[in-house]
């Protein structure tokens, strides 16, 4: 009979305590975190508004045709974004397809398979790769990878498979293929580093339970570790994709900067980020400038859509609706 | 205990910040007072940047006047000058009559130096200067002449063993005055080019791959056999790239150099006196190199700060006289004497 009463008294005391001593600091803390969160939200809204505002001229002039037009003629002021959208999507998705298996393999190796003395050096090398500035990747791409690629990959491919649209020549080195490879190399360290952390965070008890049931190492990794870590790994992949979509410098240096839609991997292409970086400084006419801004807006929208899609995937996966 | 430490740290930070503010303020005052030298700020053309830095360091040594130059691109230079955020602008392409109407203040523009563009190529084993006529050059860049051993190239170069190799055009991917001068030349010599492509800092290229900056085009041509591109002469020289002799308006095959560039500026003088904006590509004159362009400087005719304007006037007088020798050292093209006189006359319009 007496107990609930003391309980109530205790909780009242606690409440009073928190109100009297921690009241102002809690309030302040709350205000600060709410402010920082809303600053970020407002910033995104501000960006969207600003991009929209600056591209109204182009939107009014070209309308929806801007999305599907292949023209890019600054002299006659005819602009269309399709080749850039194509280049951005193809290079980033293909880079992801190359990078994900390699990164996951490396992450699993570091976290699960490698002997202890090897773990640190391999992780170190991976993190080192992530720290290299993109312009350095670009330089390496232009002076080392592209000539090698042309001699040893593209020309043989063109000679043997030139009749297939995918490998139509002439091979000149700088190409969609070069951009895809550079992007893949650039995003591997990101996906690897984050996936490794996620895999390491899988509780040891999960693995022990699996081994206890007689599972092999491969079965444990596939059925238990990767399954447990899948949301985090998906997050790592999204992070890598985000970088691939937005990468500018390294891509510009190896892609050949040609606003054309070609199925061939050996042909040059162009991306949205690259065209903005290339032409923004000397774009003096209002319509030209506005069209470049609209490409920025499109990039913003596409990134937003991809992120939303990824969020949706994460949500589905974490609810366990998607099985593999 | 912990809170005390936090408090102490916070106080220390506040005191430190105050000290920095108090300590800095008078120092700033002192520096502007004691120097009392004018600071001239300009921006624009990336092409002229190395020369501008050299000019300003030499001039600062002689007079103590500081000239800061930011290489943000010709378009940016014009824009900033128009908005009045800088004292002078520099551009590879003269401000057009149409563009001039959008300016709210009167200004002068005049050439301070020139540059020539080399047509560079990479043909393994061939170090001679190939001869090219304007129509062949146009057709190469239009993608009509596709092979190096094309009969039209072979006919111009009977002594050269031309390889059976694809021609790969390399052009600038970034908007640039270099591209403007080159496409201006192609438009001047070919009505087909003018109709299909036209002249501009960025154009819709019929063929080829784009590389960023003079250094990008140089690098691309250097490592890609069969490539042809256009770069400022000093990039071709410093990287030992082979370049072509182009047939000029007088029918002569001329190599790019300081002499042939200066000859082109001399040949242009009559047109320039009528209109300073006149293009100087494909000028008549036996020795004139056809792909030549100016760097123009923009100055206010009604400056707010007349003391600064007077200093700036002195600086550009020096640039047009002594500065031309420095330009030659750095592989730019010095202006012909006649053009220097014309520019000085323009400069005299500034108070």
B6 has a pLDDT exceeding 50: no
Residues 6+ apart with CB under 8 A from A4: none
How is residue B134 written in tokens? 């304007």
In-domain check, residue A138: yes
Write out pLDDT tens, residues B273-295: 889 888 899 999 899 999 999 99
CA distance A260 to A238: 27
In-domain check, residue A227: yes
- Strands in A149-233 per DSSP E: none
Q: Which of A142, A143, A257 sits opposite B173 (nearest CB)?
A: A257
Q: How confident is the model at residue A6 (pLDDT cuts 50, 70, 90)?
A: low
In-domain check, residue A33: no
pLDDT computed for residue B32 by the predictor? 41
pLDDT computed for residue B299 by the predictor? 93
In-domain check, residue A3: no
CATH of the domain at A199: 1.10.3720.10
pLDDT computed for residue A231 by the predictor? 87
Write out pLDDT tens, residues B75-116: 888 889 998 899 999 998 899 888 888 888 899 999 999 999
- Suggest the residue from B102, B173, B193, B221 to mutate for an interface test with chain A (most A CBs closer than 10 A): B173
What is the DSSP secondary-structure string of A123-169? HHHHHHHHHS-HHHHHHHIIIIIHHHHIIIIIHHHHHHHTTSGGG-S
Note whether B154 and B162 are within 8 A (CB): yes
B139 has a pLDDT exceeding 90: yes
* Rg of chain A in Å (alpha carbons): 26
CA distance B34 to A87: 56
Does the CB of B73 have a partner CB in chain A at under 8 Å?
yes
Does the CB of B76 have a partner CB in chain A at under 8 Å?
yes
- Suggest the residue from B204, B213, B298 to mutate for an interface test with chain A (most A CBs closer than 10 A): B204
Write out pLDDT tens, residues A77-98: 999 999 999 999 999 999 999 9
What is the chain A residue with the closest CA to B169? A172
pLDDT computed for residue A27 by the predictor? 87
Look at residues A192, A302, A155, A175 and name the one whose alpha carbon lies nearest to residue A251.
A175
Residue B234 has phi, psi (to 5 degrees) of -65, -30
Write out pLDDT tens, residues B193-211: 999 999 999 999 999 999 9
How many domains is chain A built from? 1
How many contacts does A have with B, using Cβ atoms within 8 A? 92
Write out pLDDT tens, residues B23-63: 444 444 434 433 456 789 999 988 898 899 999 999 999 99
How is residue A20 written in tokens? 């009297």
In-domain check, residue A36: no
B contacts of A172 (beta carbons < 8 Å): 168, 209, 224, 227
What is the 3-class SS of chain B, one letter each residue?
CHHHHHHHHHHHHHHHHHHHHHHHHHHHHHHHHHHCCCEEEEEECCCCHHHHHHHHHHHHHHHCCEEEEECCCHHHHHHHHHHCCCCEEEECCCCCHHHHCCCCCCEEEEEEEEEEEEEEECCCCCCCCCEECHHHHHHHHHCCCCECCCHHHHHHCCCCCCCCCECEEEEECCCCHHHHHHHHHHHHHCHHHHHHCCCCCCCCCCCCEEECHHHHHHHHHHHCCCEEEEEEHHHHHHCCCEECEEECCCCCEECCCHHHHHHHHHHCHHHHHHCCCCCCCCCCCCCCCCCEEEEEEEEECCCCCHHHHHHHHHHHHHHHHCHHHHHHHCCCECCCHHHHHHHHHHHHCCC
pLDDT computed for residue B9 by the predictor? 52
A324 has a pLDDT exceeding 50: no
- Is the CB of B212 less than 8 angstroms away from the CB of A147? no
In-domain check, residue A17: no
In-domain check, residue A28: no
User: What 3-state DSSP class applies to A78?
Assistant: strand
A contacts of B3 (beta carbons < 8 Å): none
Q: Which of A256, A278, A284 sits opposite B75 (nearest CB)?
A: A284
Q: Which domain holds residue A202?
A: 46-318
Write out pLDDT tens, residues A222-278: 999 998 998 889 889 988 998 899 899 999 999 999 999 999 999 999 999 999 999
pLDDT computed for residue B31 by the predictor? 40
d(CA A189, nearest CA chain B) in Å: 27
In-domain check, residue A22: no
B16 has a pLDDT exceeding 70: no
pLDDT computed for residue A4 by the predictor? 53
Write out pLDDT tens, residues A10-41: 666 666 655 555 678 888 999 999 999 999 99
């Amino acid at each position: 009979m007496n107990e609930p009463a003391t309980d109530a008294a205790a909780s009242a005391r606690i409440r009073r305590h928190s109100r009297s001593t921690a009241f102002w600091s809690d309030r302040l803390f709350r205000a600060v975190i709410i402010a920082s969160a809303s600053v970020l939200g407002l910033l995104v809204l501000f960006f969207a508004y600003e991009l929209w505002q600056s591209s109204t001229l182009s939107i009014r002039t070209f309308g929806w045709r801007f999305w599907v037009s292949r023209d890019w003629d600054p002299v006659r002021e005819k602009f269309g974004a399709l080749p850039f959208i194509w280049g951005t999507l193809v290079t980033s998705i293909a880079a992801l397809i190359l990078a994900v298996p390699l990164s996951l393999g490396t992450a699993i190796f570091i976290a699960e398979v490698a002997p202890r003395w090897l773990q640190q050096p391999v992780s170190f090398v991976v993190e080192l790769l992530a720290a290299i500035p993109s312009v350095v990747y670009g330089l390496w791409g232009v002076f080392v990878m592209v000539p090698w690629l042309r001699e040893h990959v593209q020309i043989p491919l063109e000679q043997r498979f030139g009749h297939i649209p995918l490998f139509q020549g002439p091979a000149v080195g700088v190409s969609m293929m070069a951009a895809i490879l550079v992007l893949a190399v650039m995003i591997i360290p990101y996906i690897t580093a984050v996936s490794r952390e996620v895999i390491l965070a899988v509780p040891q008890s999960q693995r022990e339970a699996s081994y206890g049931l007689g599972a092999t190492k491969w079965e444990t990794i596939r059925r238990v570790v990767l399954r447990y870590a899948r949301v985090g790994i998906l997050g790592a992949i999204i992070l890598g994709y985000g970088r691939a979509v937005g990468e500018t410098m390294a891509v510009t240096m190896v892609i050949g900067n040609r606003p054309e839609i070609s199925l061939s991997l050996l042909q040059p292409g162009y991306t949205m980020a690259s065209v903005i970086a290339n032409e923004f400084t000397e774009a003096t006419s209002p319509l030209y400038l506005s069209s470049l801004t609209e490409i920025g807006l499109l990039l913003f929208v596409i990134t937003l859509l991809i992120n939303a899609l990824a969020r949706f995937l994460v949500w589905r996966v974490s609810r366990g609706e998607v099985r593999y | 205990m912990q809170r005390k430490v936090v408090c102490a740290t916070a106080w220390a930070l506040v005191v430190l910040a105050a000290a920095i503010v108090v300590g800095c303020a008078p120092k700033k005052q002192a520096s502007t007072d004691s120097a009392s030298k004018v600071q001239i700020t300009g921006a624009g053309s990336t092409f002229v940047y190395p020369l501008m830095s050299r000019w300003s360091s030499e001039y600062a040594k002689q007079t103590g006047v500081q000239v800061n130059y930011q290489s943000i691109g010709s378009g940016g230079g014009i824009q900033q000058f128009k908005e009045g955020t800088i004292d002078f602008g520099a551009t590879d392409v003269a401000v057009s009559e149409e563009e001039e109407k959008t300016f709210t203040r009167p200004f002068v523009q005049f050439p301070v130096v020139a540059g020539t563009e080399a047509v560079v190529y990479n043909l393994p084993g061939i170090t001679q200067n190939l001869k090219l006529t304007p129509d062949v050059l146009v057709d190469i860049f239009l993608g009509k002449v596709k092979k190096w051993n094309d009969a039209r190239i072979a006919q111009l170069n009977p002594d050269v063993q031309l390889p059976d190799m694809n021609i790969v055009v390399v052009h600038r991917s970034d908007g640039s005055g270099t591209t403007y001068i080159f496409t201006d030349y192609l438009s001047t010599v070919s009505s087909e080019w003018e109709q299909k492509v036209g002249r501009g800092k960025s154009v819709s290229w019929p063929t080829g791959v784009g590389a960023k900056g003079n250094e990008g085009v140089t690098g691309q041509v250097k490592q890609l056999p069969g490539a042809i591109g256009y770069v400022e002469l000093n990039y071709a020289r410093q990287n030992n790239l082979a370049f072509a002799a182009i047939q000029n308006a007088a029918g002569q095959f001329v190599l790019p150099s300081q002499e042939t560039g200066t000859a082109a500026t001399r040949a242009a003088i009559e047109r320039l006196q009528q209109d300073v904006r006149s293009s100087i590509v494909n000028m008549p004159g036996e020795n004139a190199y056809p792909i030549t362009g100016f760097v123009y400087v923009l100055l206010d005719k009604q400056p707010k700060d007349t003391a600064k304007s007077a200093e700036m006037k002195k600086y550009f007088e020096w640039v047009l006289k002594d500065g031309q020798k420095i330009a030659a050292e750095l592989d730019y093209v010095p202006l012909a004497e006649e053009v220097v006189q014309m520019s000085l006359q323009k400069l005299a319009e500034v108070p």
